[in-house]
Amino acid sequence: MPDDRSQSGPDAFGAIAAEICEYVDKEDPPPEGIFEIGIVLAGAISAGAYSSGVMDFLIEALDAWETAKEMERKTGKPQNEWSVPSHDVVLRVLAGASAGSMTAAIAAVALRYDFPHMDASAASAPGKSANPFYRAWVQDIDIRELLKSEDLSEQGTLVSLLDSTVLEQITNRALDYTAVPKSRPYLRERTRFIFSQANLRGVPYYLPIKSTYSAGLGMWMHKSYRSFAASYTSAVPKARRDDAILPMRNSSADPVWRLLGNAALGSGAFPVGLAAREEDRNISDLDYHFFTYIDPSTQKQVSKQLVPAWNAEGSTVVPPTRFKGFVVDGGTMDNEPLDFARMELAGQIEQNPRGGKEAIRALVMIDPFPDTLADVNNTIAGEHGDLFSSTFGLIGAWKNQARFDPADLALALMGDVYSRYLIAPSRRISQIDPRTETNGFDLASGCLGGFGGFLSEEFRRHDYLLGRRNCQQFLAQHFSMPAENPLYNSWSAASKKEWCISKELPIIPLVGKLRMEIPLPKWPTRPVELAPLRELLEARVVAVAGSALDMLKVSWLERNAARLGIMLLRKKLLGYAMDHVLSDLSKRNLPRVRA
């Protein structure tokens, strides 16, 4: 039913009519002839350029297919006589973590407009691009901006090792993007954006336990999310009760769009490296965490809504109406937020049908850094017990344990599953592996723990174009189902024969010029000048150290002693950092000039 929603505070948006869709155990299946998809954008750091390239081509492919269908529709011919596949795909949800959330936020804006797509020719053109993905992830972000000191206030408040000011500027520019509006039939009035976050304040829960006095077990949930609903049609949006509803007109001056940008920045706030973001939201938004379990009386799986401690039975706490706290990188706890997207498509306890002949929905995960067997066989972690190894090892163990999901592991062991797909970097061409020139690596941005892309626009351009190529190959060769799936009932026998891919049919077919294979982008050749980088890094180290001393409010003697220590260690630390950069670039056969 329509619901005039209004909120107060920084996420206020007046009264926007919306149809509230309650969380349910099982979502209704899509109508016959419609296949629903959810996009999951994993954490990527600087390899967000790769994910953006994938999104760019995916949108281009969907647009081209819809245009071809509309041309066939105008002929008046029945669908089984069309020259292109006649079924429909609906994009229902984009769930992101870290850099993936930033890419999803750009998509929330870009999907309203007809924007140019970036092939190799367009990417080599001078000037700033009109493609919002390319401009944000390839042209505007750079290590030189991150090493400035515009974030250090006169009060000496140090919020991160890197200057995050440029990220706010890029976000605002993306939110203000505009072009000729474009209608996209694969977007309906129910499109949701979900960003995983790590909530530093946490939500308290209380488990009463029988004892000799009133007591129980207190627990805190720090794994969190921020969600938004949008309508890409003239109909009112359909939203969950904890969604902020995005107005049709985007602007960085609009409080809800600004909230979207802040939530994406919070999801991508790499701990210590980038600034945490403050969230201010209705406390009722935190009521919508669920868990599933087997009911012992029925032996059936059921879902239960978790009740925060302030709403628990017997609680004397009067909760505030607003919940304020800082959030950081959602990838620290949920780097591949599959469950957010799955539950939006299927429901709290329902699973998407997994067989190829029964599948009606699918999740497509875009992951620039999928774990490999080489990571699993890491024998270094946990082998040393010194103070530093133990401390950093524990941090890594916390992160890995928070991300561990036995349900995903069990699903992966089931064999052929047509409800989950993965797009990941690959420079392979058929059976030929051209990665000898890259020492076996696919991404230029993968060096320096994923921060390497910030060193060079050429690195980011390569990864963006590789993302476009990999998306094309994925749609052409892998995103398909058996011809017996009811989705293809309206196809003629001739169409099934023409579009057949290894005895399967495409879910998103490539039409027109998009069927021409995108060439493999050239591996970067322009050297990274490390001397200017060293100067910027040195200036940032001095500025950060000074700000840290201001925060500690040390005495004159302590301050000067610390400055002397910094001067003595500075050259050694910078030398170590530059050697590490050179070593990592060398491993990937990436060009560099020694500082």
> In whole angstroms, what is the distance from residue 62 CA to residue 182 CA?
13
> In whole angstroms, what is the distance from residue 587 CA to residue 522 CA?
17
Backbone angles phi, psi at 93, to 5 degrees: -155, 145
CB 13 within 8 A of CB 336: no
CB 452 within 8 A of CB 106: no
Active site residue 555: no
Active-site residue identified among 11, 151, 329, 463 = 329
Pairing of strands 2-5, 277-282: unpaired
For residue 310, give the nearest of 206, 221, 226 by alpha carbon.
Answer: 206
Q: Which residues contact 508 (CB under 8 A, 6 or more apart)?
A: 58, 61, 62, 65, 89, 475, 479
What is the number of other CB atoms lying within 10 angstroms of the CB of residue 3?
14
For residue 403, give the nearest of 103, 200, 219, 196 by alpha carbon.
Answer: 196
CB 218 within 8 A of CB 309: yes
> In whole angstroms, what is the distance from residue 131 CA to residue 377 CA?
40
Active-site residue identified among 46, 51, 86, 98 = 98
Q: Which residues contact 552 (CB under 8 A, 6 or more apart)?
A: none
> In whole angstroms, what is the distance from residue 67 CA to residue 202 CA?
47
> In whole angstroms, what is the distance from residue 364 CA to residue 354 CA?
14
State how far the alpha carbon of 204 is from the alpha carbons of 113, 319, 325, in Å. Answer: 42, 12, 13
CA 192 to chain centre: 13
State how far the alpha carbon of 22 is from the alpha carbons of 94, 212, 242, in Å. Answer: 19, 40, 10
For residue 35, give the nearest of 497, 338, 358, 367 by alpha carbon.
Answer: 358
Active site residue 367: no
The pair of structure tokens assigned to 478 is 């892998």
* Strands (DSSP E) found in 209-275: 216-230, 238-239, 244-245
CB 477 within 8 A of CB 510: no
Q: What is the DSSP string of 61-110?
A: HHHHHHHHHHHHHHHT--GGG-SS---EEEEEEEEEETHHHHHHHHHHHH
Backbone angles phi, psi at 170, to 5 degrees: -65, -40
> In whole angstroms, what is the distance from residue 49 CA to residue 142 CA?
12
The pair of structure tokens assigned to 569 is 């260690």
> In whole angstroms, what is the distance from residue 463 CA to residue 369 CA?
12
> What positions carry a catalytic annotation?
98, 329
